[in-house]
Amino acid sequence: MFHKEGHKIIFITFIFIIASFLLVGNFIEIEWLRTAILIILLVFLILILQFFRNPKRKTTPNNKQVVSPVDGKVVVIEEVYEKEYFKEKRLQVSIFMSPINVHVTRYPISGHVIFSKYHPGKYLVAWHPKASEENERTTVVVENEIYGKVLYRQIAGALAKRIVNYAKLNNKALQGEDSGFIKFGSRVDLYLPLDTNIKVQLNQKVRGGESVIAEI
């Protein structure tokens, strides 16, 4: 199953691949060169299909837990001052996505969207210390009646050139459901209450909609 954000790109890629196959078959007579080009085209197609895959995830909604919004690796766990919305100290958990990870963004907790804002910006590498403040990004806050307010921020990376955000103000959020997509490599930051119990460790791999990041 492929994400709707990739349908157009996948279609264009198929047309390009078919046209390239025909051109290579008709105009390149050197067998080894023709074979090499065809292999490269196939690998390119496989990478595009893999990037836009949208696997089903089994999320059991739990108002006392925050699940990972994306697939990737935990690269930051620290106490920071969140200055865009909370304007106070929070626990930050950052998850880095490589180009081969699933890039669907999912709601980390159920509730209502009480804040959603897009920021244009730079395209520093996603693990850069200033990426959270200077890169193109989207900040969303979901309020849950038990857990409280959870902020997550989609951040573009050096390869990511488009952030898609479905979380609009006053929308109902359902834990584990699609809330957006980031095209071609990026990172997502979570900002959680200081008294929350973090359930992951640095460099741990997590799965969007399934891995528990924190709980109360």
Q: Where are the domains of the chain?
A: 4-51, 65-215
The secondary structure of 198-216 as a DSSP string is: E---TT-EE-TTTSEEEE-
Q: Strand, coil or helix: what is 38?
A: helix
- Yes or no: say if 179 and 166 are a contact pair by the CB < 8 Å rule: yes
CATH node for 65-215 = 2.70.70
Q: Residue 155 has which token pair?
A: 């951040």
CA–CA separation, 48 vs 100, rounded Å? Answer: 9
* Residue 199 pLDDT: 97
C-alpha torsion 55→56→62→63, nearest 10: 60
pLDDT < 70: residue spans in the chain: 3, 6, 121-134, 157-161, 184-185
Query: Which CA distances in Å does 20 have to 12, 17, 31, 68, 95?
Result: 12, 5, 15, 40, 37
pTM of the model: 0.82
> What's the pLDDT score for residue 134?
64
Q: Could you tell me if 200 and 93 are in contact, meaning their C-beta atoms sit under 8 angstroms apart?
A: yes
Quote the pLDDT of residue 54: 79
Q: Which residues pair with 119 in a beta bridge?
A: 137
pLDDT at 127: 57
Residue 189: per-residue pLDDT: 95
Cα 153 off chain centre by: 10
Q: What is the pLDDT of residue 122?
A: 67
Cα–Cα distance, 101 to 50 (Å, whole number): 8
Residues that are catalytic: 186
Coil, helix or strand for 109? coil
